[in-house]
């Protein structure tokens, strides 16, 4: 079945909106913008952070950024870098898959501290695309992390 021009344009706009949402995560995390990070999620959304556990709801997601652990990373000098995601659209739902790397300042250079696989489940809301769930697992050879990268 051939897509209409409207449908093709909508898919392009949806993909760009999702890419922008995911791309905004790193700068907001590095700036300590807990409120901005939480606003990327739906109200009841969740964030599974591998070895750190799962945050559910806006308040817990914001607390990830406000936590001592994250604040210490920021004080040391960190950079959350996310690769461009592979996006699968299905109407008002989408799945995005990508890698993320957290770099830490080591004096004269930055070194990769955490390299992870990510799977984002997104939904279209009245306010635009939002994250329903993000699963982030460090790539340590664990099959669960590798499965997140399956397209």
Domains and CATH numbers, the chain: 5-148 (3.10.450.50)
Specify the pLDDT at position 2.
Answer: 67
| pLDDT for position 34 | 97
Q: What is the reported pLDDT for 151?
A: 83
Q: What is the CB neighbour count within 10 angstroms for residue 79?
A: 17
Q: What is the pLDDT of residue 69?
A: 93
pLDDT for position 42 = 97
**101: which residues sit within 8 A by CB, 6+ positions away?**
80, 81, 112, 114, 115, 116
Predicted local confidence at residue 1, as pLDDT: 54
- Mean pLDDT, rounded, of the chain: 95
- CB burial of 25-57 (b: ≥16 within 10 Å; e: otherwise) equals bbebbbeebbebbbbbbbeebbbbbbeeeebeb
- Contact between residue 41 and residue 61 where contact means Cβ atoms under 8 Å apart: yes
Low-confidence ranges of the chain (pLDDT < 50): none
pLDDT at 3: 73
Residue 117: per-residue pLDDT: 97
**Cβ 80 vs Cβ 65: under 8 Å:** no
d(CA 69, CA 12): 37
Model confidence, pTM: 0.93
Q: Measured between alpha carbons, how far is 136 from 138 in angstroms, rounded to an integer?
A: 7
């Amino acid at each position: 079945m051939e897509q209409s021009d409207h449908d093709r344009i909508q898919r392009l706009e949806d993909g760009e909106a999702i890419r922008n949402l995911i791309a905004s995560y790193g700068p907001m995390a590095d700036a300590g913008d807990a409120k901005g990070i939480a606003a990327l999620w739906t109200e009841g959304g969740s964030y599974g952070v591998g070895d750190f556990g799962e945050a559910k709801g806006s308040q817990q997601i914001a607390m990830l950024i406000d936590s001592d652990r994250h604040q210490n990373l920021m004080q040391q000098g960190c950079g959350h870098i996310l690769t461009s995601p592979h996006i699968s659209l299905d109407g008002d739902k989408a799945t995005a898959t990508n890698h993320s790397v957290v770099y830490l300042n080591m004096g004269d250079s930055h070194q990769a501290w955490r390299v992870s696989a990510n799977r984002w489940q997104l939904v279209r809301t009245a306010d635009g695309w939002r994250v329903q769930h993000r699963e982030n697992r460090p790539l340590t050879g664990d099959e669960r992390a590798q499965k997140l990268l399956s397209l």
